[in-house]
Structure 1
Amino acid sequence: MSDLLKDLKFRGLVNQITDEEGLAKALEEGEIKLYSGFDPTADSLHIGHMLPVLTLRRFQLNGHHPIALVGGGTGLIGDPSGKKAERTLNTADIVQDWSNRIKEQLSQFLDFEASDNPAIIVNNYDWIGSLDVISFLRDVGKNFGINYMLAKDSVQSRIESGISFTEFSYMILQSFDFLKLYQNNGCKLQIGGSDQWGNITAGLELIRKSEENSKAYGLTIPLVTKADGTKFGKTEGGAIWLDAEKTSPYEFYQFWINTDDRDVVKYLKFFTFLSHEEIEELEGEVASAPEKRLAQKALAEEVTKLVHGEAALQQAIKISAALFSGEIKDLTGNEILEGFKDVPTTEVTEGEIGLIDLLIQAKIAPSKRQAREDITNGAIYINGERIQDLEKIISSDDKIDGKFTVIRRGKKKYFLIKYM
């Protein structure tokens, strides 16, 4: 078995392989070309896409040639795999815009400038967009039996709830992608999540029927799960996106650092490029000293740096440390915005205001009596500093970058004051 396959198995990244012996031999004999597809169903990839992207990267680091396929064509149709209901169809201009954004994000993970084995990006709209109905039905559709398609999990799971002919045809279009890449690029391997097994094997069947003496393979990666049963990549605020404008590096870092002890070793294997020895050492730390959360820190640092870069990682660590220690004054205005994005925020007019009046205006205290009591009891902090002066006036010294004041009531209740 090739070293790459051994590594993928160590990391739990192999769910199914169509011909493991044949693939292992192909990997040992030399460089191969492989692809994974990414349909533009939003204007950004999210962390659910990371596993196939990083698996492509692992192949590239081992000398192989990854092809990232952006589904500008299939994105107009919609993949029924893993979906309980029909997708909403997006317009061509929206799909094109999203396709361009996804291309940019993929370049963060794959090396398109490598001298020996550069990655390439293709868009299946280039061959699907110009395909006429008669050619599609005669040359491609005739290779697919209805019974064969009905037997696939992606279709079976939707038979009762209903599936349109549009989504029913998705399997054929994805199969056509594999055939085109096999013919035009010499691509011999398709990888994808375990929900793509039916589409991948259908593509291999189309290649077998279309090309004599063909050699092509399929490999699926497990879908990422969480030990507590909740959906991976989702928080109260929604999906965890790779776009820093949609999910800030601080929020991204916090997602990973809050990983359950039961999941952290699995995620280290999935999402980082740490060595087997480093991961096993961290696994030992989880068992012997879980309270130190060294594995979670390593996971958060590795993945945040990979997605957002070293500078954004350091900023996320700085914000996290400031919130933990209460040293809010060390943060800049932009860091305040990032770290306190989801706390209750009140806009007040620029100028001096008494602390008691501010607590009332920002609904931090329900009455002046309660405000005085909170201040006297030492429950009120301004930018991390405890304030017990009932006559306290909020001045320019209390405004970070002249824009924000952070008020804490008790140990954990934060409020953000924003000056207009």
Structure 2
Amino acid sequence: MTHVLDDLDARGLIAHSTDRDALRAELSEGPITYYVGFDPTAPSLHIGNLLQILTARRLQLAGHKPLMLVGGSTGLIGDPKEAGERVMNTKETVGEWVDNIREQVSRFVEFGGDNGATVVNNLDWTAGLSTIDYLRDVGKHFPVNRMLARDVVSSRLESGISYTEFSYVLLQSLDYLELHRRHGCVLQTGGSDQWGNITAGVELIRRADGDKVHALATPLITKADGTKFGKTESGTVWLDPGLTSPYAFYQSWIQAEDSKVIEYLRQFTFLGLDEISQIEAEHLEKPGLRGAQRRLAAEVTTIVHGQEETAAAELASRALFGRGELSELSESTLAAALREAGAVDLAATDRPTVVDAFVAAGLADSKSAARRAVADGGAYVNNERVSDPDLELTTEHLLHGTWAVLRKGKRSISGVSVS
């Protein structure tokens, strides 16, 4: 059986680790307890957080026990950003986001059995902590010169950084110390951008209790041009279906670049590496079929939203381009798909024509261009070719009484909502 560290390595999921040989030995001796943390600085987690959740799940599948930490206290402050000081959210807002994120992380791990997961909140051990105890028991272990040397701090010294954000590392390190004492936690995982905070926790445990613990960081996931992965033209790809619809989530993976799709398959799915190698061979032979992208989108959407939503997204993806029946799409799926494609609202009282719709939806720069598209046979409404540019969009053309799917040629899709 492949050691979990070897599997993580083969999937490109280890960017940094402390003593890897010692960690391997401890993982091999028996189940360990480990943790990964998430700060509620938004109402939902996103694709970047998903990598951490799935890494935690891989360790659990290997027999180890996860602690899923939601930062009710650290979320009130926020990790320093190079761009500048964070805007602090109210305690009420952060409390709501804690509940959201607790529910989200709970969907990806198992709670039963000997290695069942536990969700913890760092507000439990910080809410009653006095300033004196905090400074004596935590602060005394942090040399200021080392804190100043942290990249994000040194980059902010000239522009300014508050003591609140400067001291964030103490709070995150305290999390590791408390989980080590309360649950016997000996491993923290996280993203490589958190490596300084993670290793500070390792050092705090060594200084405070004299114990040796471990740390492991996953790499920053990027696009081919080196920019951060997880954003589309419409913004951040969230795990909450109310913020990013399952269709839009599916489409974000369909759009994966050829040079990165196999990497994403290794990192974001539970497919075996042999099967991924086979997908890679087929992809290299016929990249135009985008089979690897479709498999990636299906696997990750199923993990996050379930098989039913994945099937609906796949059906919508086919139907919008004339390879399936639009009538089979639910209104919610159709609406999400068309909004993602840039659909616009039109007033029924204006009696919009096909030409009006094409211009409003951005499929034509002008009415004359829209008329040319119709004349050339390249204009479609609900996958039916249109021959009359003055055709009015009435209820008979509207799916679910509201929506019309517009297509120019084979690939340019948009839509309108007429009410």
1-side partners of 2:365 and 2:55: how far apart?
54
Q: What is the identity, as a one-letter code, of the residue corresponding to 1:398? A: H
Structure 1 residue 274 and structure 2 residue 271: aligned?
yes
CA RMSD, Structure 1 to Structure 2 (Å): 2.5
Mark the CA change 1:362 to 1:154 in structure 2 (over 3 Å): closer, same or farther: closer
SS, match of residue 401 in structure 1: coil
2:28 corresponding residue in structure 1: 28
Q: What is the identity, as a one-letter code, of the residue corresponding to 1:125? A: L
Deviates most, 377-386 or 363-372? 363-372
Deviation at 1:257, TM superposition (A): 1.1
1-side partners of 2:365 and 2:27: how far apart?
68
Structure 1 residues 220-369: aligned runs within 5 Å = 220-325=217-322, 327-342=325-340, 343-349=342-348, 353=351, 355=353, 359=357, 362=360
1-side partners of 2:237 and 2:368: how far apart?
42
1:43 corresponding residue in structure 2: 43
2-side partners of 1:241 and 1:77: how far apart?
22
1:199 corresponding residue in structure 2: 197
Deviates most, 221-230 or 35-44? 221-230
1-side partners of 2:370 and 2:7: how far apart?
59
2-side partners of 1:48 and 1:387: how far apart?
43
Structure 1 residues 9-408: aligned runs within 5 Å = 9-80=9-80, 83-112=82-111, 114-212=112-210, 214-325=211-322, 327-342=325-340, 343-349=342-348, 353=351, 355=353, 359=357, 362=360, 374-389=373-388, 392=391, 394-408=393-407
Deviates most, 405-414 or 122-131? 405-414
1-side partners of 2:125 and 2:132: how far apart?
15
2-side partners of 1:288 and 1:356: how far apart?
41
Deviation at 1:205, TM superposition (A): 1.5
**Residues 329 and 383 of structure 1 are in contact (CA less than 8 Å); yes or no, is this contact kept in structure 2?**
no
SS, match of residue 130 in structure 1: coil
1-side partners of 2:16 and 2:310: how far apart?
35
Number of equivalent positions: 416
> Deviations along 1:80-129, whole A, 9 cap, x unmatched?
2x5331111111111111111000110121112x2221111101011112
2-side partners of 1:153 and 1:365: how far apart?
48
Q: What is the identity, as a one-letter code, of the residue corresponding to 1:83? A: E
**Residues 231 and 237 of structure 2 are in contact (CA less than 8 Å); yes or no, is this contact kept in structure 1?**
yes
5+ long unaligned stretches in structure 1 = none
Deviation at 1:201, TM superposition (A): 1.6
Mark the CA change 1:354 to 1:207 in structure 2 (over 3 Å): closer, same or farther: closer
> Deviations along 1:40-85, whole A, 9 cap, x unmatched?
01000000111111110001111100001111101111112x5331
2-side partners of 1:337 and 1:229: how far apart?
33
**Residues 53 and 108 of structure 2 are in contact (CA less than 8 Å); yes or no, is this contact kept in structure 1?**
yes
SS, match of residue 310 in structure 2: helix
Deviation at 1:231, TM superposition (A): 2.3
Deviation at 1:159, TM superposition (A): 2.8
Mark the CA change 1:375 to 1:117 in structure 2 (over 3 Å): closer, same or farther: same
Q: What is the identity, as a one-letter code, of the residue corresponding to 1:94? A: T
SS, match of residue 63 in structure 1: coil
Mark the CA change 1:328 to 1:130 in structure 2 (over 3 Å): closer, same or farther: same
Q: What is the identity, as a one-letter code, of the residue corresponding to 2:235? A: G
Mark the CA change 1:361 to 1:296 in structure 2 (over 3 Å): closer, same or farther: closer
**Residues 154 and 195 of structure 1 are in contact (CA less than 8 Å); yes or no, is this contact kept in structure 2?**
no
Deviation at 1:407, TM superposition (A): 3.1
Mark the CA change 1:311 to 1:136 in structure 2 (over 3 Å): closer, same or farther: same
**Residues 53 and 109 of structure 1 are in contact (CA less than 8 Å); yes or no, is this contact kept in structure 2?**
yes
Mark the CA change 1:272 to 1:130 in structure 2 (over 3 Å): closer, same or farther: same
**Residues 333 and 403 of structure 1 are in contact (CA less than 8 Å); yes or no, is this contact kept in structure 2?**
no
Deviation at 1:308, TM superposition (A): 0.5
2-side partners of 1:413 and 1:192: how far apart?
40
2-side partners of 1:70 and 1:59: how far apart?
19
1-side partners of 2:159 and 2:352: how far apart?
60
> Deviations along 1:244-301, whole A, 9 cap, x unmatched?
1111111111111111111111111110001110111122223222222221111111
Deviates most, 359-368 or 340-349? 359-368
**Residues 188 and 215 of structure 2 are in contact (CA less than 8 Å); yes or no, is this contact kept in structure 1?**
yes
> Deviations along 1:341-362, whole A, 9 cap, x unmatched?
04241332379x5746855995
2-side partners of 1:366 and 1:59: how far apart?
53
2-side partners of 1:95 and 1:369: how far apart?
52
**Residues 356 and 367 of structure 2 are in contact (CA less than 8 Å); yes or no, is this contact kept in structure 1?**
no
Q: What is the identity, as a one-letter code, of the residue corresponding to 2:147? A: M
Mark the CA change 1:356 to 1:211 in structure 2 (over 3 Å): closer, same or farther: closer
Mark the CA change 1:29 to 1:87 in structure 2 (over 3 Å): closer, same or farther: same
Mark the CA change 1:368 to 1:292 in structure 2 (over 3 Å): closer, same or farther: closer
2-side partners of 1:103 and 1:368: how far apart?
51
2-side partners of 1:221 and 1:204: how far apart?
17
2-side partners of 1:110 and 1:123: how far apart?
16
Deviates most, 392-401 or 16-25? 392-401
